[in-house]
Structure formats: C-alpha cells, structure tokens
Chains A and B, each alone.
Chain A
Amino acid sequence: MNLGYLAVIVVYFILVLAIGVWGAKKASYDSYTVADRDVSLPLSVGTFFATYISSATVIGFVGYTSLSGASIFPTYFWGFALGWFALTLIAGRMRRLRLRSVPSLFEARFGGSTLRVFSALVTVVAFCFSVMTQLVAGSLVLSTVIGIDQTLSAILLAIVLIIYTVLGGLVSVVRTDFIQGCLILLAVTAAFTVALFQNGISAFSVPQNLQPMLQGSTPTTADVIALILVAFGGVAAQPYYLHRFFSARNVATARQMIGLGGLLAGAVYFMIAVLGIVMPRAVGSENLGDSAIIQFGLQNGGLLGSLIVVGIICAVQSTVDSALHLVGVNFTNDVIGVAKPSMTDPAKHTTARLVTAVFGVLCTTGAIVFIVSEAGFITILLNIWLGTLSSALLIPLYSSILFKWVSRLGATLSSVGGFFAYFIAMGLTELGVVELPFHPIYFGLGVSLAGLIIGSLVSRADPDDDVMIRFFSKEGLSLAQG
C-alpha cells in the first residue's frame, strides 16, 4: 500500500466533505436544485469545467491520442467545441426561463407532462449508467495507485460524493466542483510541464503514425461526420450543462460560463493532445492506451504522481456528483412532483435528498457488481443510453427553445422517435444482430428530425401569450436582465 498517495487522498476527501457540510446550511429546495440561482461567474466556470472534464478526458483522451493521434480531433474535440458553441447560443434563453430542471422546460413550453416525464426518465437511467461506469473507472485508478481493493476504492469514492451531494445539493456540488476543477487543471498542467521539461521542443513533434486523421474510430469520412455529430449532440444536449444555466446569477454569467469554461477545457485538451503524442516516447509502446497517463504519473512519482492521482479522482467525483444530483432533482421534480402536484417545496427537498441517496447507493452497488463480475455489458449499456440521450433531447430541446412553429406533438414524436430509433439501431449493432451501413446516430437524429417536422405539420403549434413572452419576446429578455 502506498501511504503517501493515501494521505494525499484522505486530505482531499476531508476538504470536499467539509464543503459539503457547509453547503448543507443553505437548506431549501431552491438551493438544492439551482443553488438559489446565484452562482457567480468564477464558480459557474469552475463547475462547468470540472463537470466537463471526466476520467474519460484525463485517462481516455491521452490514451486515445497516444494510439490514434490526429483522429482525436474529429472523434471528440471538434464536436465538443461545436457543442459549446450551441450551448452559448441558448444560454440566455435558458437562464431567462428560471426553471428548476431541464425536463420541466417541455411542460413550460407545450403544457402537458408526458414529454417532461419521458425526458426525465431517459436522463435518470442514462446518468445511473454514467455514475456506475465512472465509479468503476475511478476505483480502478485508486486501487492501482494506492494498492487497496477495487471494491473498497469504489465504496470510498462513492460515500464521499454521496454525502456532500445529499447534504448540500447544487450549493455543495458547485463549490466542490470549483476545488476539483482547480486540482484537475493543476494536475494536467503539471504533467504537461514535466513532459515539456523532459522532451524540450521535440514534445511538439508528431510521430508519423499519429499524423493521419482517418484512423482509430474514424477510418472513413462518414465516420468523421458521425462522430462529430455524436460528440456535438453529447455536449449540446447534456442535461448537466444545461442545468447549470438555471443556477447562473444572470444571463451574462450563463453565456460566459460556457465561453470561458470552453476556453479552459480547450486549453486542457491542448495539453492532453500533446501529452498523447509524447506518451510513446515517455512510457514506451507497451504502456500506451488508457494506462499511459497513470504509468507516466507513477514513473515520475512524488509530487507529479500525487497530483495526477488526485486530478483523476477529482475528474471522476466532479462528474459523478453532478450526474447523481441531476438524477435526484429530475426524478423528484419531474416524476414524483408530476405524480403528486400538491407536494410542497420542503417536502420535495426532503424527497430529492432521499432519492439522491437511494440512487447513489444503487449505482454504487451496480458498480460493485460490475467490478466483481467483470460484466462488460454495462459499458455497452452506457454507450446505448448516452446516444439515446442525445437523440431524445437534442432536436426537440433546441427547436422548442428557438422556433415558434414547433408543436407539442412534433416535440414528442421527435424525442420518443429519436430515442427508440437510436436505442434499437445501437442495440442491434452491439448485439451483432445486424450490421448497419451507417452509424446509429444517423438513425436517431434522422428520425428525431422527421418526427419534429411531421408532428408539427400535422398538429399546428399555437403558443399562448405566456409562452410567447417567456420564450420568444424581447420583453422576456429585458425582464431577465432586471
């Protein structure tokens, strides 16, 4: 057991728990769901950035670049940046709506609760799988580096974040995210600096095999377009980024949260890409892939090793706490709250905490089952669900906010159709039943777009005055600026 790394992690755990306990002092349903809509720009940027950078970013993208080089850009980076651009375009409108959850947008826009409940359930299930796989990835790092059992590592990781999320809700999550974001930035910058120090200017020279873009996950141009769509949709329709708009202090903060947060994430991606091309020289060809950055940290040991370990733990916890928080809020606000409209805010607050805790325990149990049984199907399910999230939300959500002609039937067909088209196409492909000529995202987004247009033609939109003012008028804009 490595006691040095263990001590660093224990200090970090105590720090984030202390913030969680402090957050619990601001106990109301609004503080739990949207942090009282008063999150400043630095905290907003910090929470967006930390939620954005997951263990997949730190571990996976260095590993992917070390193997597939320039393919990292069409596979992930370009689509992500386009997703930030889309988020910036709707940030102001989202903030003005003053909602408590993304699914409730559909009821505010169209009336009726079917689409609200449906999108909430899709989100809840998708994020449960996301929490499970992130816990498995984080626990693997923790157990490899410290030398403790992986199951115990998963429990330790989960307990800490469940406690601070349940206690303080979004108030705690944004503050722990800020600290975690700083530590992630420090860790990646330190690794980048060490790589530069060790390799000098040649750190920027790209080996010949890492130059082509058409390799790895994008061997053809059709794959390039498909994966840009997947990455774009995955960011632009991601509920925990969209949810952050409701908690930002004002419209300008909501927009710059993405502008500055994207820039910060872009800087981290730059460093990660350079680390990726350095890895073949730094850790040898036998250690490339997901283990590369961990190997690099262990190899250099000392302060860099500690920073990388804590950075990876922060990346896991900052993403998982946001996902778990959203599961608690969406299930309470948009499923239980719709079934029991008479619920008061204090009752919803208690329920949201309970739901968050229950889902946290369920997801941890799922992660442990995955660790013990080494059941790979959870990763497959995650891929299916994350794609369905994009297919079920991207087109109906953006069109509902941006276009008056979208009707309730159009949005519902778009969301439900996109969900099932992607789910069935991806499921059949993953199970090896059929070999589709195109990536399943084309089916998901294609059916979603067709559903939107057909539904809105069949049943014409007739937004009432409230909706016109709230979603589309200049008056709504000036009100929002106070």
Chain B
Amino acid sequence: MFWAGMAIFIVLAVLPLATAAILNAKDGASLTDRDLPPSPIREGR
C-alpha cells in the first residue's frame, strides 16, 4: 500500500506543473511578459 500511495502522490504532484504549462500556453502567457501599469481600479471601492 505504501508505494501505491506514493505513486498516486507523484501523479498529483506533477499535475500542477502540467496545469500551469497548459494554462500559460492557452493564455499565451510568458515568463518574460511585462507587468501592467498601475490599475485604474482601486482595491477598495
């Protein structure tokens, strides 16, 4: 049971990396993107 538990954990631990890569590719987001200028919408309205 121990290594079965570990195998499930390894799959779950890789999932966020794969998800991040897919979402970034889908949105065209890149690590070199520039930041936004200051937002015109304040945090407290």
The count of chain B contact residues (Cβ–Cβ below 8 Å) is 35
Contacts of A369 in B (CB 8 A): none
| Interchain CA distance A256-B22 in the complex, whole Å | 11
Query: A255, B8: Cβ atoms under 8 Å?
Result: no
A249 in contact with B27 given A70-B5, A263-B14 (CB within 8 Å): no
Contacts of B33 in A (CB 8 A): 249-252, 481-482
Q: Which residue of A lies closest to B24 (CB)?
A: A252
Of B16, B30, B39, B41, which contacts A85 at CB under 8 A?
B16
Q: Which residue of B lies closest to A108 (CB)?
A: B43
Contacts of B39 in A (CB 8 A): 98, 470
The minimal Cβ–Cβ distance linking A249 to chain B, given in whole angstroms, is 7
Query: B1, A263: Cβ atoms under 8 Å?
Result: no
Contacts of A118 in B (CB 8 A): none
| Interchain CA distance A396-B8 in the complex, whole Å | 29
The minimal Cβ–Cβ distance linking A300 to chain B, given in whole angstroms, is 25
A270 in contact with B10 given A213-B1, A482-B35 (CB within 8 Å): yes
Contacts of B1 in A (CB 8 A): 70, 211-213
- Among B2, B6, B8, B17, the one with the most A-chain Cβ atoms within 10 Å of its Cβ is B2
State whether the Cβ of A277 lies closer than 8 Å to any Cβ in chain B. Answer: yes
Q: Quick one: CB contact mask for A449-482 with B, threshold 8 Å, 1 for yes? A: 0000000000000000010011000000101111
State whether the Cβ of A38 lies closer than 8 Å to any Cβ in chain B. Answer: yes
The minimal Cβ–Cβ distance linking B24 to chain A, given in whole angstroms, is 5
Stretch at the interface among A4-12, A87-95, A191-199, A412-420: A87-95
The count of chain A contact residues (Cβ–Cβ below 8 Å) is 62
Q: Which residue of B lies closest to A96 (CB)?
A: B36
| Interchain CA distance A189-B27 in the complex, whole Å | 36
Contacts of A256 in B (CB 8 A): 17, 20-21, 24, 31
Question: Which of B1-45 touch A at CB < 8 Å?
Answer: 1-3, 5-6, 8-10, 12-21, 23-24, 27-31, 33-36, 38-39, 41, 43-45
Q: Which residue of B lies closest to A274 (CB)?
A: B6
Q: Which residue of B lies closest to A479 (CB)?
A: B36
Query: A81, B27: Cβ atoms under 8 Å?
Result: no
State whether the Cβ of A302 lies closer than 8 Å to any Cβ in chain B. Answer: no
The minimal Cβ–Cβ distance linking B7 to chain A, given in whole angstroms, is 10
Interface Cβ pair total, 8 Å cutoff: 146
The minimal Cβ–Cβ distance linking B8 to chain A, given in whole angstroms, is 7
Contacts of A427 in B (CB 8 A): none
State whether the Cβ of A175 lies closer than 8 Å to any Cβ in chain B. Answer: no
Query: A260, B17: Cβ atoms under 8 Å?
Result: yes
Q: Which residue of B lies closest to A30 (CB)?
A: B38
Contacts of B14 in A (CB 8 A): 263, 266
| Interchain CA distance A324-B34 in the complex, whole Å | 30
Question: Which of A49-93 touch B at CB < 8 Å?
Answer: 69-70, 72-74, 77-78, 81-82, 84-85, 87-89, 91-92
State whether the Cβ of A99 lies closer than 8 Å to any Cβ in chain B. Answer: yes
State whether the Cβ of A104 lies closer than 8 Å to any Cβ in chain B. Answer: yes
Contacts of A92 in B (CB 8 A): 23, 27, 29
Of B3, B16, B28, which contacts A259 at CB under 8 A?
B16
| Interchain CA distance A158-B10 in the complex, whole Å | 35
| Interchain CA distance A38-B36 in the complex, whole Å | 11
A104 in contact with B19 given A81-B9, A266-B10 (CB within 8 Å): no
State whether the Cβ of A323 lies closer than 8 Å to any Cβ in chain B. Answer: no
Contacts of A421 in B (CB 8 A): none
Q: Quick one: CB contact mask for A214-241 with B, threshold 8 Å, 1 for yes? A: 0000000000000000000000000000
Q: Which residues of B contact A (CB under 8 A)?
A: 1-3, 5-6, 8-10, 12-21, 23-24, 27-31, 33-36, 38-39, 41, 43-45
Contacts A/B (CB < 8 Å), 14 sampled: A72-B5, A77-B9, A81-B13, A85-B12, A85-B19, A210-B2, A249-B33, A250-B30, A255-B23, A256-B24, A256-B31, A260-B17, A469-B41, A470-B41
Q: Which residues of A contact B (CB under 8 A)?
A: 37-38, 41, 69-70, 72-74, 77-78, 81-82, 84-85, 87-89, 91-92, 96, 98-100, 104, 107-108, 111, 113, 116, 206, 210-213, 249-253, 255-256, 258-260, 262-263, 265-266, 269-270, 273, 277, 338, 341, 466, 469-470, 477, 479-482
